[in-house]
Amino acid sequence: MIKFETPMFRPPSEANSLLVQATIGCSHNNCTYCAMYRGENQRFRVRPQDEIFQIIDELSSSKYKRAFVADGNALVMRTKNLCDIFKEIYKKNSNMQRISLYGNVSDILRKKKEDLDMLKESGLDLVYIGFESGDDKTLKRIKKGATKEETVEAMQKLKKSGIKVSGMVLLGVGGKERSFEHAYQTADMLSKGDPEYVGLLSLQVRPGAPLYKDWEDGIFELPDKYQLLKELEIIAENTELSGGYFYSNHISNYLPIKAIFPKDKDEVVSKIKEALKDKSGKQLRPEYYRDIVNQY
């Protein structure tokens, strides 16, 4: 039986999915806030195709309705190989309804329109992208490897091929210095890209991430809980989606929100404003929740 290289990461929403570790680690792996792929056994590599097919064969079951192709950004793989993997997943899982994976902006932009069309036709339904921010200065500082304009272009490119976008945003990643710029520019990026899903997480500076040293040395200052809430308020109030899910229910967040925009937008903004006014913190998650190490 093929063994997975661990730790292996997947989005929380893929907890019950068939996990197919087609790649190991992350091909970019330069983001300063991330400690996810720093282990020696997580140096980026693509598994041989026969190993990937063996994983699918060994783990497939009629119970699975979703599959997630891991690890950090499997979209870097050759289009034909991915298409063959998707087809095999559907072939071996009779109730399969959706396949998703992580993708970097640069990998999306590198694919031609016909490549993305082929991936969609072969069964790729959704791509998770770590936006983190729409502020170019913040993106450069955290070494994300993409600009705001490129991120919007990547979203639009996927959507034109019928592939859904789930984007992740990091509250606090701009630090105290660029907190407002980060929030306003992120809202503008989301409005222009119009992803189907937006997931907001709050930055937790972890040992192993390059940003941790900056935080220890006082070079990077993490906003407090109310500044993080203010960022959430700015993003919620200024983001225009045509019919997208807007979530901040990850355990790293102080105020959980699960909404559909624009239907629930006014209610959500009011809820955030109320939490900001109430300095007792009764509406917020306890601090110890944020100390739990979670996958995302």
The pLDDT value recorded for residue 291 is: 61
Residue 125 predicted with pLDDT over 90: yes
The pLDDT value recorded for residue 283 is: 86
Residue 235 predicted with pLDDT over 80: yes
The pLDDT value recorded for residue 285 is: 87
**pLDDT by residue (tens digit) across 128-152?**
999 999 999 999 999 999 999 999 9
The pLDDT value recorded for residue 167 is: 97
Q: What is the DSSP string of 92-122?
A: H-TT--EEEEE--HHHHHHS-HHHHHHHHHH
Q: Where are the beta strands (DSSP E) in the chain?
A: 18-21, 23-24, 45-46, 66-70, 98-102, 124-132, 164-171, 197-202, 244-247, 258-261
pLDDT band of 232, cuts 50, 70, 90: very high
Domains of the chain as residue ranges with CATH: 12-287 (3.20.20.70)
The pLDDT value recorded for residue 34 is: 92
What is the pTM assigned to this prediction?
0.94
**pLDDT by residue (tens digit) across 153-165?**
999 999 999 999 9
Of the listed ranges 35-44, 61-70, 97-106, 183-192, the least confidently predicted one is 35-44
**pLDDT by residue (tens digit) across 275-285?**
999 988 888 88
Of 42, 81, 43, 87, the closest CA to residue 67 belongs to 87
**pLDDT by residue (tens digit) across 42-63?**
789 999 999 999 999 999 999 9
Q: Which residue has the higher pLDDT, 106 or 42?
A: 106
**pLDDT by residue (tens digit) across 209-226?**
999 999 999 999 999 999
Q: Helices 79-92 and 113-122 meet at what angle, rounded to 10?
A: 10
The pLDDT value recorded for residue 295 is: 38
pLDDT band of 1, cuts 50, 70, 90: confident
Residue 292 predicted with pLDDT over 60: no
Kindly report the average pLDDT of the chain as a whole number: 94
Q: Tell me the CA distances in angstroms from 74 to 100, 109, 223, 244, 255, one per residue in order.
A: 10, 14, 33, 24, 32
The pLDDT value recorded for residue 159 is: 98
